């Protein structure tokens, strides 16, 4: 079953502006979907459209196979969300913040303690949230989104501003939610972190989906190309030897490039040496999601 | 809707709101107490119910000087909590619908204004009994407080405020900060007092003057304002209700179409 489906979604804040251009994506029930893209790519806009905060100009959004227009706002009962920074009343404690949502959703207040436990905030339930750290606020935001036991979690940049410990803790919580069978859409630009949590990813660039697939699809891409970092004395003479198309980035004496196969490396080194180019460094970069993302986004 | 109103009350555990309500109740009690304490010779009359004088004084001070700044500051603060906590997006992605959220917040505001007025009534009644301990000749203990009449006149003060409540709620939702809606309200309050005190007929169309002209408080002359009495309500009170309905409906339409940051 598809938890979320976007079909040809286009949107612009002004006439003739296209923040999103025919975006298609689908999130299967019970999976974690990583929604990736650089800042300004249109991730938050997409999430706002899904949640009904904005209205799409073209296309359809289906939530659990029903058009969002037909089920809005009641259909959002199945959705828990955290859009950018968490919405928290700073003058209240974590418990009181959750009490508000308990009353709104008409659910027993015993649920407060369950979600506080889930996000590891039980010890600070009575502390004023204005005194919370960024990580604690994010976790409380997540607790609010979990409170009504939604089937589907939509989290927009939830690890933004978290320190490494905070990121590890947050990841653990997300993985626990995944184990509980929840469907999760997770947007981020911190790619290496998303890689550890998601089943499928979609990469958004300038309002268009430029890659969508499973982690194993990504692995295939990873095996296909070899990323190199070369430091030479003459960049200008080196580039034509590597092939201009293969060069991703030039940073002073460093060239970042891609070759199709590992077996091409000895030949390339020989070619550079025979042309009397001094090679100071020649390293193969690990082709993690971060590099894949840069490649896909640059294509 | 009731659940949402209950949640709204939890949100309002906000110190500035407590202080504001506490200040209004205390200042009203202090003014009533002082006005009686320093003018006891004029107030203590044999066979005259002192509660009516106290009730009239209380409602007049409340209507003319206290209620408008209170409502302006209270509504600005109550809505500011939402802006300040960046809460709209979370509210509007919940399955209740924007209108339900909009009206439940409004209902909470109305209930809390009424609650504050009831507190004022209780505190000024208490003042009467305290004055009676100091000046037994004033005979507050001899008569019963006219609660029925008192509640009725307090309700009329409330009705005269509805127009301002509608405008202030509208402004507070439109402007993100506290200062802009509060400042507009305070400036209009001063303008309202000036127009009303000048006995200018325009006051009938300026909601911020309504609490001081909806009845003759015997503080200013209002004979040129031409208020028509329709029985239960008069023309000023009707204008106040109309203004309230107009701004609340307009606010709801705008809220339904607002792009939330």
Tens digits of residue pLDDT in B204-237: 999 999 999 888 777 788 888 888 888 889 999 9
Q: Are A120 and A66 within 8 A, CB to CB?
A: no
Task: State the number of CA atoms in the 13 A half-sphere of B5 facing the CB.
Answer: 11
Per residue in A128-177, pLDDT (tens digit) is: 999 999 889 989 999 999 999 999 999 998 888 788 888 888 888 889 88
Q: What six digits make up the tokens of B10?
A: 């939890």
Report in angstroms the alpha-carbon separations of B180 from A232, B80, B187.
Answer: 61, 11, 11
The Cα of A188 is separated from the nearest Cα of chain B by a number of Å equal to 18
- Measured between CB atoms, which of A74, A85, A100 is closest to B7? A100
Q: Tell me the per-residue pLDDT of B42-89, one tens digit each, with 9 for 90 and over.
A: 777 777 888 998 999 999 999 999 999 999 999 999 999 999 998 988
Out of 1.10.10.410, 1.10.1240.10, 3.40.50.300, 3.30.2000.20, select the CATH number for domain A2-214: 3.40.50.300
Per-residue model confidence (pLDDT) at position A250: 82
DSSP code, position A160: T
How many Å apart are CA A158 and CA A139, to the nearest integer?
9
- What kind of fold does domain A225-298 have according to CATH? Alpha-Beta Plaits (3.30.70)
CB-based contact A54 B259, cutoff 8 Å? yes
Has residue B261 been placed in a domain?
no
Lookup: tokens for B128: 């009467």
Interhelix angle A264-274/A235-242, rounded to 10 degrees, is 140
pLDDT in tens, A250-264: 888 899 888 887 888
Scanning A262-281 for CB atoms below 8 A from B yields none
Read out DSSP for A10-58?
EE-SSTT--SEEEEEEEEETT-EEEEEE-TTSSHHHHHHHHTTSS--SE
Closest CA to B168 of B89, B99, B106: B106
Residue B93: list chain A partners with CB under 8 A.
Answer: 51-53, 76, 79, 81, 83
- Cis omega (within 30 of 0) for bond into A73: yes
**Tens-digit pLDDT profile for residues A203-246:** 888 888 888 888 778 767 666 678 888 999 988 899 888 887 78
Pairing of strands A208-214, A152-156: unpaired
Element (H, E) at A7: strand A2-11
Omega cis (within 30) before A148: no
Distance from CA of B23 to the nearest CA of A (A): 20
Rounded Cα gap, residues A9 and A87, in angstroms: 27
Mutating which of B6, B12, B84, B85 best tests the A interface, going by the most A Cβ atoms within 10 A?
Answer: B85
Closest-CA distance, A104 to chain B, in angstroms, reads 5
- CA pseudo-torsion sign A123, A127, A177, A205: negative
Rg (CA), chain B: 20
Taking the CB of residue A251, how many other CB atoms lie within 10 A of it?
A: 10
Helices (DSSP H) in chain A: which residue ranges? Answer: 43-50, 68-71, 94-105, 110-118, 134-146, 164-179, 191-195, 215-224, 235-242, 264-274, 289-298
Mean predicted confidence (pLDDT) in A265-282: 90
pLDDT > 90? residue B31 = yes
What is the H or E stretch that residue A65 is in?
A: none
Phi then psi for A15, rounded to 5 degrees?
A: -60, 140
Q: Which pLDDT score is estimated for A288?
A: 58
Across residues B197-202, what is the average pLDDT?
Answer: 90
Looking at residue A54, what is its pLDDT?
87
CB atoms within 10 A of CB B136: 12
Beta bridge partners of A228: A257, A284
| Residue B260 with chain A: CB contacts under 8 Å | 48, 53
- Mean pLDDT for all residues in chain B: 91
Domain positions in chain A: 2-214, 225-298
The total number of structural domains that make up chain B: 1
| Gyration radius from chain A CA atoms | 23
- Interface residues of chain B, partner chain A, Cβ below 8 Å: 3-4, 6-7, 10-11, 13-15, 81, 84-98, 259-260
Select the more confidently predicted residue: A246 or A61: A61
The dihedral built from the CA positions of residue A180, A181, A187 and A192, taken in this order, carries a sign that is positive
Q: How far apart are CA B217 and CA B228, in angstroms?
A: 16
Residue whose structure tokens are 């709104």: A104
* pLDDT > 70 in chain A, percent: 94
Report the pLDDT value the prediction gives residue A287, as an integer from 0 to 100.
56
In a domain, residue B180? The reply is yes
Please tell me which of the candidates B7, B15, B89 has its beta carbon nearest to residue A83.
B89
- In this structure, is residue B41 part of a structural domain? yes
Residue A260, token pair as written in the block? 């199709």
| Tokens of residue A32, six digits | 């974690």
Residue of A52, A74, A105 with shortest CB distance to B93: A52
Q: What is the domain range of residue B68?
A: 2-256
Assess contact for B191 and B144: CB atoms under 8 A.
no
Task: Determine, yes or no, domain membership for B176.
Answer: yes
Torsion of Cα atoms, A14 then A72 then A49 then A64, to 10°: -150
Report CB contact under 8 Å: B91, A87: yes
CA distances from A82 to A258, B87, B171 (A): 37, 11, 28
B contact test, residue of A89, A129, A132, A146 with most B CBs within 10 A: A89
Backbone angles phi and psi of A4, in degrees to 5: -145, 135
């Amino acid at each position: 079953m598809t938890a979320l489906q976007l079909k040809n979604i286009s949107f612009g804040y002004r006439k003739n502006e296209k923040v999103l251009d025919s975006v298609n994506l689908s999130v299967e029930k019970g999976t974690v979907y990583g929604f990736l893209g650089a800042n300004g790519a249109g991730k938050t806009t997409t999430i706002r459209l899904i949640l009904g905060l904005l209205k799409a100009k073209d296309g359809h959004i289906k939530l659990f196979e029903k058009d969002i227009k037909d089920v809005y706002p009641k259909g959002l009962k199945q959705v828990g969300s955290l859009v950018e920074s968490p919405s928290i009343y700073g003058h209240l404690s974590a418990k009181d913040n959750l009490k508000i949502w308990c009353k709104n959703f008409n659910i027993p207040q015993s649920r407060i303690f369950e979600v506080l436990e889930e996000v590891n905030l039980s010890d600070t339930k009575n502390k004023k949230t204005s005194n919370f750290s960024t990580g604690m606020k994010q976790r409380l935001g997540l607790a609010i989104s979990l409170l009504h036991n939604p089937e589907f979690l939509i989290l927009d940049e939830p690890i933004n501003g978290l320190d490494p410990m905070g990121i590890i803790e947050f990841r653990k919580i997300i993985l626990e939610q995944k184990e509980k069978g929840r469907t999760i859409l997770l947007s981020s630009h911190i790619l290496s972190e998303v890689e550890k949590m998601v089943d499928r990813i979609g990469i958004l660039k300038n309002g268009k989906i430029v890659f969508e697939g499973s982690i194993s699809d990504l692995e295939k891409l990873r095996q296909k190309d070899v990323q190199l970092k070369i430091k030479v004395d003459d960049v200008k003479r080196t580039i034509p030897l590597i092939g201009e198309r293969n060069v991703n980035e030039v940073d002073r004496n460093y060239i970042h490039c891609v070759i199709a196969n590992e077996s091409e490396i000895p030949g390339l080194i020989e070619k550079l040496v025979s042309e009397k180019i001094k090679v100071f460094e020649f390293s193969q970069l690990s082709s993690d999601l971060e590099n894949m993302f840069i490649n896909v986004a640059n294509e | 809707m009731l659940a949402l109103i209950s949640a709204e009350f939890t949100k309002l555990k906000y110190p500035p709101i407590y202080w504001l309500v506490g200040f209004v109740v205390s200042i009203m009690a202090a003014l009533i107490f002082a006005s009686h304490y320093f003018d006891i010779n004029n107030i203590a009359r044999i066979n005259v119910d002192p509660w009516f004088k106290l009730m009239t004084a209380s409602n007049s001070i409340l209507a003319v000087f206290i209620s408008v700044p209170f409502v302006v500051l209270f509504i600005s603060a109550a809505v500011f909590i939402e802006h300040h906590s960046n809460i709209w997006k979370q509210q509007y992605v919940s399955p209740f619908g924007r209108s339900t959220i909009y009206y439940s917040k409004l209902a909470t505001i109305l209930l809390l204004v009424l609650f504050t007025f009831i507190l004022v009534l209780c505190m000024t009644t208490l003042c009467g009994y305290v004055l009676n301990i100091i000046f037994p000749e004033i005979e507050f203990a001899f008569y019963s407080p006219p609660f029925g009449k008192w509640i009725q006149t307090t309700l009329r003060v409330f009705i005269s405020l509805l127009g301002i409540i509608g405008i202030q709620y509208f402004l507070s939702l439109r402007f993100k900060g506290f200062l802009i809606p509060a400042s507009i309200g305070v400036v209009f309050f001063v303008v309202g007092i000036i127009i009303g005190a000048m006995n200018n007929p325009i006051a009938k169309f300026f909601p911020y003057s309504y609490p001081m002209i909806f009845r003759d408080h015997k503080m200013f002359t209002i004979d040129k304002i031409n208020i028509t009495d329709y029985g239960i309500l008069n023309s000023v009170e009707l204008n106040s209700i109309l203004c309230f309905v107009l701004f609340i409906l307009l606010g709801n339409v705008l809220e339904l179409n607002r792009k939330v940051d």
